[in-house]
Amino acid sequence: MSSATTISEHAPVHRSGESTGVTNAKLGIWLFLASEIMLFSTLFTTYIVLRLGAASWPRGWDVLNVPLGMINTFVLITSSVTMVMAYAKAHEKNLKGFQTYMSLTIFLAFVFLINKGIEYSAHFRHNEFPSTSIFHAVYFTLTGLHGLHVIGGIIVNSTLLYLSKTDFEHPLFLGRVEGAGLYWHFVDIVWIFLFPALYLL
Amino acid sequence: MSLKKFHLFFISTSLSLMVFIGGWVAYQFQMGKGKDWLGTGAIAVVGFILGLIYANWFRVKYKNL
């Protein structure tokens, strides 16, 4: 038996997930999402404290565009469905299906941002800015930060769509799609809480 | 948590939102403004039914995802 064989038999093998039960990529994305949960929880808590301490607070449905918010809610829910379908197609090694569903996810993210842009421009036309009131400061901060996360999702998903042309068969590609899918679902779930908190309460 | 499990959790949360919107429209009815939000309530009911059908289909179709 050669010395090289002996070393390879006894050397520790660092396979992903050996000690944690999940792949390194999935552990990394969940750690990142944990930090994101802390960020949005802090902002939500700030919103609750400011609202409870305010002498008066406008009703969301009186000052915000509920139908447009409702449309955006369904747009994001649908985009989560297309995202998980893209992952399912990648799992089935169906490149065409993956590209179709990933393109749909990116398209729906743009639809969300366009609707948000329409909403923002209406506020600006009515001279409503973050400095107008505490309510507007909270509204623009929470929805603006969420919008930035949507833009981040578009960048990640577009990169994966581009890479699929060459790296679709790469052993790590599926894990990357799953990571992007987890991030996208997180962004969507934040909106599921933002919409009723700002528009309906 | 895998993407499949997180997706099912997300759909459950979305279904809860539909129930919340339904309750909110009922509250608006109590306040005498219900007619303005009838469309919103109808969309929430349809969304809830479609969501339930989809979640059931997804669980069966992608059992091994």
pLDDT tens figures, A150-183? 999 999 999 999 999 999 999 999 999 999 999 9
Query: Cα–Cα–Cα angle for A189, A66, A110, nearest 5°?
Result: 55
Listed in sequence order, the residues at least 6 apart from B1 whose beta carbon sits closer than 8 Å to its beta carbon are A30, A182, B9
User: What's the CA gap between B21 and A100, in Å, rounded?
Assistant: 32
**Smallest Cα–Cα separation from A199: which of A148, A129, A139, A156?**
A139
pLDDT of residue A16: 58
In chain B, residues with a C-beta closer than 8 Å to the C-beta of A77 are 14, 47, 51
- Integer Cα distance of A22 and A33 in angstroms: 15
User: Phi, psi at residue A175, to the nearest 5°?
Assistant: -65, -35
Contact B6 A182 (CB under 8 A): yes
H-helix segments, chain A: 3-10, 24-53, 60-63, 66-91, 95-125, 134-167, 173-195
Listed by start position, the domains of chain A span 24-200
pLDDT per residue as tens digits for the range A66-107: 999 999 999 999 999 999 999 999 999 999 999 999 999 999
Give DSSP secondary structure letters for B22-47.
Answer: HHHHHHHHHTT-GGGGHHHHHHHHHH
Do A117 and A33 touch, CB atoms closer than 8 A? no
CB A167 within 8 A of CB A177: no
Q: How confident is the model at residue A18 (pLDDT cuts 50, 70, 90)?
A: low
Burial class (CB in 10 A: 0-12, 13-18, 19+), A82: buried
CA distance B15 to B55: 10
Within an 8 Å CB–CB cutoff, is residue B34 touching chain A? no
Asked if the model's pLDDT at residue A189 lies above 80, the reply is: yes
Judged against a pLDDT cut of 90, whether residue B65 lies above it is answered with no
% of chain A with per-residue pLDDT over 70: 91
Using the Cβ of B57 and the Cβ atoms of chain A, whether some distance falls under 8 Å is answered with: no
Listed by start position, the domains of chain B span 3-61
Q: Is the pLDDT confidence value at A19 over 90?
A: no
- Closest CB to A70: pick one of B2, B14, B43: B43
State the residue for tokens 């959790």: B9
Report the distance separating Cα A68 and Cα A80, nearest Å: 19
Report the chain B residue with the minimal C-alpha distance to residue A21: B1
Contact A150, A112 (CB under 8 A): yes
Q: Is B31 near chain A, with CB under 8 Å?
A: no
Give ∠ CA A116-B29-A69 in degrees, rounded to 5: 5
For a pLDDT cut of 90, what percent of chain A falls above it?
Answer: 88
Tell me the C-alpha distance between B7 and A91, whole Å.
Answer: 15
Q: What's the CA gap between A35 and A37, in Å, rounded? A: 5
Please say if the pLDDT value at position A11 is more than 90: no
Q: Among residues A149, A127, A147, A125, which one has the least CA distance to residue A136?
A: A127
ipTM of the predicted structure?
Answer: 0.94
Is CATH 1.10.3720.10 correct for A24-200? no
Q: How confident is the model at residue A20 (pLDDT cuts 50, 70, 90)?
A: confident
pLDDT at A56: 92
Q: pTM of the full predicted structure?
A: 0.91
The reported pLDDT for the residue numbered A1 is 43
Determine whether the interchain pair A196/B17 forms a contact, defined as Cβ–Cβ distance below 8 Å: yes
Cβ separation B40–A178 shorter than 8 A: no
